[in-house]
Structure 1
Amino acid sequence: MTDETPAVCVIVLSWNGGAVLKECLASLRAQSQSARVIVVDNGSADGSQDLVRREFPEMTLIENGRNLGFGEGNNVGIRAAMDTGAKYVALLNQDARADREWVAALVRAAETDATIGAVASRLVLHSHRTLLNGAGVVMNLSGCAWDRGFARADGPQWREPCEVLGATGGAVLYRTDALRRAGLFDAAYFAYFEDVDLSVRLWDAGYRIVYAPDAVTTHRFSFTLGDESFGKILLIQSNRWRFILKHFSLGRFRHPKSLLVVDKHFARNRLRMGLRGVRLWLRVYARVLAALPDVLRYRLQHRTTKERRARWWRFVVNAVGFPDVFMPALDYDLMESAADAWSDRAIMGVNDTALGQGWYPLVRPVPTTFAEPEGPALRDFGSSATCFLRVAAPGPHVVQVHVTQRPESTQAREIQVICNGRDLGHAEVSAEHRGWRTVQFPVTLASDTATVELRVERPLLREESGAQVDYGVRVNEVSVLASDSPLLRRTRVATSR
């Protein structure tokens, strides 16, 4: 680190992270800008502490001995970083992997203006690596907060730096001077909403929060608590009310319909669960009631003016209820590399139980023609998807892809085919003819494995289709076949360009 490089400390909160923690720390070791790394262990029982000592001895390990939650667990690390004189402190989830330039990009953004209190990263989903996990945090009038751009195709509209309401605590940079003024995480949240709470307090303290699209991390969504676990639902629903009671203006409570629409939906869903759902409902609101004295004390001590609240309220989405976000389910085993490949063909609905990243759930269309009464099974993807395939022997082969477009599409789309890192070429998939097209590209393989990636530069956005997600093209087959294989469909072999 040179004298001109700001002191940066990265904090990783560990709790039974195992192999994903190892990946996370390895990505921090490989950063282009040096930074001290502090691993704060929240009482892991899987030997994570020994892993850090054994394989990352240069990193500082702090053992809390028990699970203090996300907020207070990170606070322990933040205090340690501030004691060493760090100008910036970055947080990275144990289930995230940082690109090599992550720290440098965050610091570069923060150094442009001393009023920047936090910098949000661009997170992409581990299971769909051209779909966003988030590009900052947004909120609606019901107090529901979610990752900006969640599960959207990672395209040009997400590559521009901008101000945002908040930054997710899973991949963020904070200016320590700003934290001294605004305070650290509110430990009472335990997990969820504590990062939104801190973001709002930074705005109230006179700082800004910006999004840095060049600061990229890959995140395993809901690795720690699962997607719909009892504990996660309890924390999110009760913490939503803690945030509302702390930070919403009193005028919002005179017309509570926009707030209660979420609770009405939540209660209806819990009743369908029977006794277990009722117990969860009771625990949520018992936790809210228990928070009231603390919340009232906060409001008396921090009388936010209308002007200060307006600094962050301008980012609130003019909508109510649960946000309209949707993540494609992973209905297959996720292959990580070509070493796992076992077949030279991936036929959707036939042998697609294990695929690479990016694929949406299997679809079996309604009947289309007499010759194809049920229609071929297919999978959509956003802007990229991968298949790992294995052939009998190296040598000349043909990559064969069977594709079509969605019925909502009104313009042609180009599909790019890449094999083992080599761009084989592009092919146009028409929107005028709704039938299937077979695309073929010759390739010479140096080994018996092939990593085939399909890309669409301009996916069909949800605003155009009215769907819940962005779509590239529909795929029935991805194969790597010998040049004389009888399984090659009749078509003109495309030429690379």
Structure 2
Amino acid sequence: MGNSKKNSVAIILLNWNSYKDTYECLKSLENLAYESFHVFVVDNASTDHSYEKLVKDGELGVFRSEVTFIQSGGNLGFAGGNNVGIKQAYELGYDYIWLLNNDTTVDEHSLSTLITVIDKDERIGIVGSKIYFADTNLLWFAGGQVNYYSGSTHHVGYKKKDKGQYDKIKHVQYIVGCSLLFRRELIESVGYLEEDYFLYYEDTDWNIRASRKGWDILYVPQSIVYHKVSSSSSSKDVAPFFAYYNIRNAYLMIQRNEGKFAQFSAAIHVIWKVIEYLARMIVKNQEGKRRRSYLIMLGALDGFRERIGKKELQAK
């Protein structure tokens, strides 16, 4: 698998009912200007036969890269699914592990530029890419910022045209899990991704824990990745399912990593966010107001009660 070579890289893709995206991501990885890598596709209990299709493609030699397909055994969420691949890569001795969203495509130098930077200094634990909205010159991510008094996070450069204003390598507070490369020693120091979140904030939490263990976190703009999310959609119009996890996990992250004052401040922020969500829902006359209201308020309540993991989100 190439793990005996210097600077060997395991690339982890998480698949869940998304054959086309995963297929296109795997095909783009074939063009990487880097030799020592192996791809691990972890399937999170897909129900659309995408896993079987991908395995068949692999058996037919459709992919030029070395690919191992793994079934997680259930829908374990972002952290749980990625941890399955991370654990296997760690046990096989890979030097670096690259978490990559399956709905991305990559520039040919995206991996080599990350390795060049992280290999320069053993104190660098995490590096990440400049990420564009797919097929545009609009930025999706150029480094991450965290508000430790509210739990809110911010993608630097979000929806801005790239004019070279974010072209310097820099230290950042977090790298988003969409394209995050780390050295194996991080597992020994920080541990695996926290699975209690299920969806959202597990990558931010992990960055915070790494930083507090003394690891440097760098944004590397020479590494370019394209993310298939709509640049016309608004994060303010988030679906209630995602609003639940965003509200709950933002508070949980602060509760786990910060002191009492920050926790109090984050609680006030959560209450404000609930009011903001509900007001927007009324003004826009969004469909399913009853279910939306229930899930938004439940997210806040479950955060305060420290309810963790996957939630069966049914309206009442």
**For the superposition of Structure 1 and Structure 2, which TM-score range results when normalised by the shorter chain?**
0.7 to 0.9
Structure 1 unaligned segments of length 5 or more: list them.
295-497
Instruction: Give the number of equivalent residue pairs.
Output: 291
Helix, strand or coil at the partner of 1:158: coil
| Structure with higher RCO (Cα < 8 A, 6+ apart) | 2
The one of 265, 283, 287 equivalent to 2:302 is: 287
Distance (Å, rounded) in 2 between the aligned partners of 1:110 and 1:199: 15
- Deviations for 1:219-257, whole angstroms, at most 9, x for unmatched residues? 01169xx97222111111111111121122223345565
- Give the equivalent residue in structure 2 for 1:228: 238
The one of 112, 133, 145 equivalent to 2:140 is: 133
- Give the equivalent residue in structure 1 for 2:29: 28
Q: Give the AA of the match of 1:281.
A: I
Matches within 5 A, 1:373-388: none
- Give the equivalent residue in structure 2 for 1:16: 17
Helix, strand or coil at the partner of 2:108: coil
Contact persistence 1:52–1:59 (CA under 8 A): no
Distance (Å, rounded) in 2 between the aligned partners of 1:165 and 1:6: 25
The one of 187, 190, 198 equivalent to 1:190 is: 198
Q: Give the AA of the match of 2:217.
A: I
Distance (Å, rounded) in 2 between the aligned partners of 1:179 and 1:68: 19
TM-score normalised by the chain length of structure 2: 0.84
- Deviations for 1:418-454, whole angstroms, at most 9, x for unmatched residues? xxxxxxxxxxxxxxxxxxxxxxxxxxxxxxxxxxxxx
The answer to which structure has the higher strand fraction is 1
- Deviations for 1:378-407, whole angstroms, at most 9, x for unmatched residues? xxxxxxxxxxxxxxxxxxxxxxxxxxxxxx
TM-score normalised by the chain length of structure 1: 0.55
Matches within 5 A, 1:220-369: 220-221=228-229, 228-253=238-263, 257=268, 260-269=271-280, 274-291=289-306
Q: Give the AA of the match of 1:232.
A: F
Q: Is it true that 1:121 corresponds to 2:138 in the alignment?
A: no
Helix, strand or coil at the partner of 2:93: coil
- Give the equivalent residue in structure 1 for 2:39: 37
Q: Give the AA of the match of 2:94.
A: A
Contact persistence 1:270–1:281 (CA under 8 A): no
Contact persistence 1:14–1:42 (CA under 8 A): yes
Helix, strand or coil at the partner of 2:306: helix
Contact persistence 2:13–2:99 (CA under 8 A): yes
CA RMSD of aligned residues (A): 2.4
Shift of 1:286: 3.6
The answer to which structure has the higher helix fraction is 2
Structure 1 residues 112, 229: CA separation in 2 closer, same or farther (over 3 Å shift)? same
Contact persistence 1:91–1:169 (CA under 8 A): yes
Structure 1 residues 192, 49: CA separation in 2 closer, same or farther (over 3 Å shift)? same
The one of 49, 58, 64 equivalent to 1:47 is: 49
Distance (Å, rounded) in 1 between the aligned partners of 2:3 and 2:55: 27
Structure 2 unaligned segments of length 5 or more: list them.
60-65, 310-316
- Give the equivalent residue in structure 2 for 1:382: none
Q: Give the AA of the match of 2:105.
A: R
Contact persistence 1:271–1:277 (CA under 8 A): no
Distance (Å, rounded) in 1 between the aligned partners of 2:242 and 2:308: 24
Q: Give the AA of the match of 2:20.
A: A
